[in-house]
Structure formats: C-alpha cells, structure tokens
C-alpha cells in the first residue's frame, strides 16, 4: 500500500505543480490586465469595460488554486499555536485533526461551491459574456484538490510516512 501511495503522491505532486503554474500565470495575467486598465483609463482616457470583471475572475482562480497547493505543501492554516504547548507525542494527533478539518471544509467547498456554480450557469457576466459559473468554479476545483491533498496526507500518515515538518517541530520544542 505504501508504494501505491507514493506513486499516487507523484501524480498529485505533478497536479500541485501544474496548479501552481496556472496560479502564477493567472497572477501575471491579472497584473497585465490591471496595468492595461490603468493605461487606458488615465493615458488614453477610455477604460475598457471588461478589464475589472476579468481581473477579479482571474484573481479568484489563482487565489483558490494557490490555497489548494498550500494544503499539499503544508502552508495552510492549522493549529500552529497549540504545537508550541503540546508534548511531542500529541503533535501528530493534532496535525491529523487539522488534515481531517481541512478535508471536511474542502468537501463543503465542493458541495456548496457546486451548488453556486450550477445556479450561475444561466446568468451571464455582462461585460465578459461568460456564465457566472466561471466565477464559482475555482471554489469547486480548489475544494476537490484540497480533498485529494488532505486525503493524501492522512493516508501517508496512516502508512507511517512522515508528512510533518520536522524542522519546525524541533524549533517549537527547543527551550
């Protein structure tokens, strides 16, 4: 089982890297759109109507994809303050609880974000012309990725793999 988990982990690593690249490209694209909007508004004195809606939509995509990558890379929110006061034996339990909480939250993102996305299919964003679903789709995709990445961490932990940051733990327990 451990070998299979490591092979799946390699695929999830590629998925995480791809998501990070898409998020990075989105950041660059949003920056270019905002710069174009500023140029058009203040230099040409004719601001295109689509730039604000497009930049906000792109921003939601790269934020949610980046958050999903943060779950896999262990840069997400957790119970870090408690790690300072707990004995070393309790830290894996707290981190497992954190992974379970992230999984539950991400499942909620998939479910409720999916409802929003389905409701928005018939509504068009006026200046962009796309269905409003494209505004809510990053919530669903990010939720699916977060579920996969947190489930990977849970299963690797159950298989005995060290998925926690050993250097951080050492710094937290040093007096």
pLDDT per residue over 20-33, tens digit each?
Answer: 999 999 999 999 99
What is residue 139's predicted lDDT score, i.e. its pLDDT? Answer: 97
E strand or H helix at 37:
helix 2-39
Q: Which of 34-38, 74-78, 92-96, 171-175 has the highest mean pLDDT?
A: 34-38
Q: What is the rounded CA–CA span in Å between residue 150 and residue 146? A: 6
The structural domain count of the chain equals 1
114-167 pLDDT tens trace: 999 999 999 998 888 899 999 999 999 999 999 999 999 999 888 888 877 655
92-95-101 Cα angle (round to 5): 145
**Nearest of 157, 166, 171, 130 to residue 5 by alpha carbon:** 157
Per-residue confidence at 103, pLDDT binned at 50, 70, 90? very high
Mean pLDDT of 4-12: 87
- Average pLDDT rounded to a whole number, residues 36-51: 94
65 Cβ partners below 8 Å, 6+ apart?
A: 19, 20, 22, 23, 26, 138, 141, 142, 145
pLDDT in tens, 56-75: 999 999 999 999 999 999 88
Structure tokens at 43: 């230099």
> Does residue 172 register a pLDDT over 50?
no
Q: Which two tokens stand for residue 73?
A: 């890379």
Per-residue pLDDT for 52 more than 70?
yes
Tell me which residue range forms the domain holding 20.
Answer: 2-173
CA-atom Rg of the chain in angstroms: 20
Helices (H), 40-163: 51-72, 80-85, 91-119, 133-158
Closest to 73 measured CA to CA, from 167, 165, 171, 173: 165
| Helix axes of 133-158 and 2-39: crossing angle, nearest 10 degrees | 150
Which of 92, 68, 110, 80 shows the shortest CA–CA distance to 154?
92
């Amino acid at each position: 089982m451990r070998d299979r988990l490591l092979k799946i982990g390699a695929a999830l690593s590629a998925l995480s890297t791809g998501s990070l690249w898409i998020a990075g490209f989105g950041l660059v694209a949003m920056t270019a759109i905002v710069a174009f909007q500023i140029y058009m508004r203040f230099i040409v004195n004719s601001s295109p109507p689509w730039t604000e809606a497009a930049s906000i939509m792109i921003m939601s995509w790269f934020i949610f994809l980046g958050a999903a990558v943060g779950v896999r890379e262990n840069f997400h929110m957790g119970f870090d303050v408690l790690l300072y006061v707990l004995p070393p034996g309790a830290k894996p339990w707290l981190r497992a609880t954190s992974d379970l909480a992230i999984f539950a939250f991400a499942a909620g993102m998939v479910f409720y974000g999916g409802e929003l996305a389905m409701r928005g299919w018939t509504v068009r964003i006026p200046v962009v012309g796309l269905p409003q679903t494209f505004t809510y789709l990053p919530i669903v995709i990010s939720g699916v990725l977060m579920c996969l990445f947190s489930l990977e961490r849970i299963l690797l932990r159950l298989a005995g793999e060290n998925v926690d940051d050993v250097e951080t733990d050492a710094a937290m327990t040093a007096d």
